[in-house]
Amino acid sequence: MAHRRLKSFLIAAFACTLVGCGGGGGSSGASAGSPATTTTTTAGVPGAPTIGTVTAGDGSATVAFTAPASNGGAAITSYTATCTASGSLVATGASSPIMVTGLTNGVTYSCSVTASNSVGKSSASAAVSVTPIVASGTSTASVLCTNAGTYTGTFGAAGTLTSNWQWSCSATARSLTANGLPNHAVGTFPNPGNPNTIAVQTVNFSATVSPFKGTANRTLGGPAGILAVSLAGVKFDPGTAGSCPGSMTTTADCNLANGNDVWRLEALGQKTFNFGVDGNNAHVQPGGAYHYHGIPEGLLANAGATDANRKMVLIGWAADGYPVYARYCYSNAMDASSPLKVCTGSYALDSAPDAGRPSVALAPLGSFVSDWNYVAGSGDLDDCNGRTGVTPEFPRGIYYYMATDTYPFFSRCLKGN
């Protein structure tokens, strides 16, 4: 009998440890100090945005949308617009609209948009079809048509010289006369990598004030003609006359001044071959012409454009009539209120050397033009280092080229006729 009573007591005591037993007076429920019950809500992905109008542009589509009704319990961090035909091109942004570039004119694309938060990406919105179009001419005749000036400075071994430039516009053309000297300080010329002395040039340049994008890229520069000029009349010529043979056994086998071999050298983005460029990414041709291979740092300094004080600065005009800007562009190409960012090119460096290429031990990847390949959507710009968007001078938008810190540093081709 005592054994049964002990067994019943132990069972009751064990039950108390599981569910708790009431205190004195027959009360029941949790004892003082027991933790309160907490309800935890787990965040999920956002709902799908609602797509609006998709506007066709020149090689682009601008996708408008509204935010989803639910953010999934976590703040939306970005939106991604995707336009698909035979392949897909994407662009991201913090808000509507988002411009997707690198599209082929005349091809119909299906565009949609997704939202992302810290958990993940939403399902896609409904899709809207769009067919990019070739843009009609956009007049530039109201911008910097009466720009003229002079600058006196020391130009290396050439001593003190005065640069001068004069722009004018007619009903059809923008014209320049200049002496080819920059409007900023330059490096030391001659130097070990560049044996040439700066000399006064005769620069005559003309471009249409109604640029119109064609269906095929044009290649200019070097003997093919002036690609673009700065506002002070200094030409942009990013290619070099240097080359190396595939059979090279030493860098001395390369000709940096007048090469005729297949493997064309780059002046910027590599440290093996010294082309004697100064702090303006420029040097001097044998005839004394000072010219830029990339961002003309002196021009940005003149404009007060720095990372602490970002400005979208018009630095020149291309031979097809489109404007040229340097380094900074709007995060959203069509939104002048979006933050300015450092614009990047859309070229990727090869992961392995091309067949027949000189050894990377002698010429590291990045030394040659062929080491780089265009990857649409990998940066901000197209294959000619340009894009369509708004600028301070063109608030309704225009196609423009960029001088960048990344390859190709400056346009190697022109989109306009």
Beta bridge pairs of residue 244: 263
Residue 213 has a pLDDT of 79
Output phi, psi for 358, to 5 deg.
-55, 155
Element (H, E) at 316: strand 313-318
Instruction: Answer yes or no: are the C-beta atoms of 99 and 334 closer than 8 Å.
Output: yes
50-130 adopts what CATH topology?
Answer: Immunoglobulin-like (2.60.40)
Q: What is the dihedral of CA 191, 197, 202, 204, to 10 degrees?
A: -10
Close Cβ partners of 54 (under 8 Å, ≥ 6 residues apart): 61, 62, 63, 64, 111, 128, 129, 130
Q: What is the pLDDT of residue 17?
A: 43
Look at residue 30 in the predicted model and tell me its pLDDT.
43
pLDDT at 335: 87
Task: For residue 367, list its beta bridge partners.
Answer: none
For residue 281, what pLDDT is reported? 98
User: How much is the pTM?
Assistant: 0.71
Residue 341 in 3-state DSSP?
A: strand
Residues of the chain with CATH 2.60.40.10: 50-130
Mean pLDDT by 10 residues, the chain (417 residues): 44 43 42 56 91 86 94 95 94 93 85 96 95 71 92 96 97 96 97 96 95 77 81 96 95 92 95 96 96 97 95 96 97 91 97 95 96 94 93 91 97 90
Contact 197, 157 (CB under 8 A): yes
